[in-house]
Amino acid sequence: MIPLSSPDIGDAEIAAVVEVLRGARLSLGPKLDEFEHAMASYVGITHAVGVSSGTAGLHLALNALDIGPGDEVILPSFTFVAAANAVLYQRAVPVFADIDPQSLNLDPVRVEKAITPRTRAILVVHTFGQPADLTALLDLAKQHRLKVIEDACEALGSEYRGRKVGGIGDVGVFSFYPNKPITMGEGGVLVTNDDALAAKVRALRNQGRDSTDNWLRHSMLGYNYRLPEINCALGIEQLKRIEWIIAHREALARRYCEMMREICPEIELPVQLPNVRVSRFAFVVKLPRATARQKIMNHLAAQGIGCRDYFPAIHTMPLYSSYARPQNSLYVTQDICTRTLALPFFNRLTDDEMREVCHALRNS
């Protein structure tokens, strides 16, 4: 078996988790503080707030920005469904804009066409770790007085013009699910330079208890989005290796591309755009048009090779079909989502395994 992804957990991570289990604090303890400070320092931002997942972080970002019923949030349809779900949690309206065919991120031209008097925010996803065109999107946000939320759940360590993504907009969110370059098992973090917003998020994640409340007093409606000490211990150790992991995964991606060009020249490979550093979350290729993707996936699965159709378009899902607006054409999304294929990609992937994947893809 060659899995689609696999977490990379070492002895240091295991020892750190065991140390927490032998201690007295399992929640809201010193490991949370240490992890938050490490994340804030790494991203280059004032505040980092640990939460139970990337989804929870996106929800709290929208909540803390006072985005609510009837407000419109522009986002891509070509992304994981959590981004749109977070919008609905606030009873806001997801407005899908089309993507750029190279970066697979929001196309600023299409975003501008999707703006209405009810638009409150742009939820920018850095898809597969590829930074979005933040210069153009931030300019649009400034012109129309919109907030920018960076969904950097797949992009820890990615950089746009020398700055780490997640820390460039009003608020950013990262995820540490097991398929990410570094993992906490489950967990996420919200980052911002806004003191008031960070304080509000800290209260919201802990059942609405703010810094002036006592143990059983809660000033606002909140949630149980706390991040346990065990997860933080794991995250602290993983974060120490992040730069090596980014460099190693970049080397793996380059080698993959070399093999693909040699063995499967018809496959469209991930692009390298100027002025960015990509922290590669996944290795996603584009199949030629009119290719029977499901047949290929079935063949790879029969060979014991993990693969997935990243991403199905959100606006084609029953819950979201009514939010697709004819005037906001999604032609690129509709094309791309039928041709993308995620192939095995993880820290310990070997040359022999990559070559096996390439040959299986060619023979499918």
Which pair of tokens denotes residue 208? 């609405």
Residue 326: its pLDDT value, please? Answer: 87
Q: Assign 108 a pLDDT band (cuts: 50, 70, 90).
A: very high
Where is average pLDDT lowest: 43-52, 57-66, 69-78, 285-294?
285-294
Q: What is the mean pLDDT of residues 142-163?
A: 98
Q: What is the mean pLDDT of residues 157-168?
A: 98
- DSSP-based three-state secondary structure for 95: strand
d(CA 316, CA 323): 10
For residue 327, pLDDT over 90 is answered with no
Domain regions of the chain by residue span:
11-239, 242-362
Mean pLDDT of the chain: 97
Q: Assign 291 a pLDDT band (cuts: 50, 70, 90).
A: confident
d(CA 364, CA 360): 6
d(CA 76, CA 3): 28
Residue 198: its pLDDT value, please? Answer: 98
CATH architecture assignment, domain 242-362:
Alpha-Beta Complex (3.90)
pLDDT tens digits, one per residue of 261-277: 999 999 999 998 999 99
Which pair of tokens denotes residue 172? 């950013």
Q: What is the mean pLDDT of residues 311-319?
A: 96
Residue 333: its pLDDT value, please? Answer: 98
Q: What is the mean pLDDT of residues 233-250?
A: 98
Tokens 């793996």 correspond to 252
Give percent of the chain above pLDDT 70.
Answer: 100
Q: What is the mean pLDDT of residues 127-153?
A: 98
Task: Between 63 and 212, name the one with better pLDDT.
Answer: 63
Where is average pLDDT lowest: 97-101, 325-329, 350-354?
325-329
Q: Please indicate, yes or no, whether the overall pTM of this predicted structure exceeds 0.85.
A: yes
Residue 135: its pLDDT value, please? Answer: 98
- Give the phi and the psi of residue 357 in degrees, each rounded to 5: -60, -45
Choose among 154, 200, 192: nearest CA to 170: 192
Q: Assign 18 a pLDDT band (cuts: 50, 70, 90).
A: very high
Tokens 């806004």 correspond to 194
Choose among 183, 281, 186: nearest CA to 238: 183
Residue 74: its pLDDT value, please? Answer: 98
- DSSP-based three-state secondary structure for 46: coil
Query: In the CATH scheme, what is the code of domain 11-239?
Result: 3.40.640.10
pLDDT tens digits, one per residue of 191-236: 999 999 999 999 999 999 998 888 888 889 999 999 999 999 999 9
Q: 77 with 313: CB under 8 angstroms?
A: yes
